[in-house]
Structure 1
Amino acid sequence: MPHFRIETNVPKSKIPNDFVTKAVPVLAKALGKPEQYCVVSVIPDIPMSFGGTTEPCAIANLMSIGALGVEQNKKHSKVLFDLVEKELGVAQDRMYITFQDNPTGNVGFKGTTFHSIFG
């Protein structure tokens, strides 16, 4: 159910082939969620300017059912900004992350919603 989506102007050729598989356990651990429910996606090659330049930059969204909040998001930011900087070469002052805490009824899975699955 957690989804960390990154849109970036970094070219696909500079995205490590194993980035998404390396990022899933990091995301799962940060959120305290099972890896099998975590999704990481990267959309490279986006025409993008941050602060008036086209140096490597990104915009990201972290959607989760729970495990988000004012204090939690500070910790998530640290882990995720470190990951993106190390793996994609996007400086921490060249990216934003928005956090989206969705209710169980707003996330579908297996032909139903997590509200039905969780009861």
Structure 2
Amino acid sequence: MPHFTLETNIPRNKVTVDFLKQTTAIMAKTLGKPESYCVAAVIADQPMVFGGSTDPCGTATLMSIGKLGVEENKKHAAVLYDHIEKNLGIPRNRLYITFVDADPANVGYNGTTFHQIFGGK
């Protein structure tokens, strides 16, 4: 269920399958969730200006059911910013990450919701 989406102005050819696979592995580790549920997506080549400049930048969202909060998000931010800066060249000060702690009833999977999967009625 964890989902990471990055929208960026960097070229599509800089986003490799290895980067995406590394991202889901990082997500699984930092969130303590099975990697089999983790999704990573990069929407590249977006017309984007950050602070008046078209230098590499982006906005991202990390959604999870639980495992997010004040202290947890600091840990998640640290590993994600390191990974993105190292592999895509987007500086830390040119990227926002929004953390979304989703209610299980609002996340669908396999024809139902996680509320039902987790034992809700």
User: If the TM-score is normalised by the length of the shorter chain, which range does it land in?
Assistant: over 0.9
Shift >4 Å, 4+ stretches:
none
Q: Displacement of 1:17 after TM fit?
A: 3.4
Distance 2:101 2:14 in 1: 31
Whether the 8 Å contact between 1:16 and 1:87 is mirrored in structure 2 is: no
Cα deviation, 1:16-73, whole Å, max 9, x if unaligned, reads 3321111111110000000000000000000000110000001000000000001100
The one-letter amino acid of 1:64's match is S
TM-score (norm 2): 0.96
Q: Which range moved further: 14-23 or 87-96? A: 14-23
Amino acid at match of 2:25: P
> Which residue of structure 1 aligns with residue 24 of structure 2?
24
| CA distance in structure 1 between the partners assigned to 2:49 and 2:66 by the alignment | 32
User: Hey, what does 1:94 align to over in structure 2?
Assistant: 94
Query: How far apart are 1:13 and its partner, in Å?
Result: 1.4
Q: TM-score, normalised by structure 1?
A: 0.98
Name the amino acid aligned to 1:19. Answer: F
In structure 2, stretches of 5+ residues that fail to align are: none
Structure 2: distance between partners of 1:13 and 1:69: 34
Secondary structure of the residue aligned to 1:72 is helix
Paired positions, count: 119
Which moved further from structure 2: 17-26 or 75-84?
A: 17-26
Identity among equivalent pairs (%) = 59
CA RMSD of aligned residues (A): 0.7
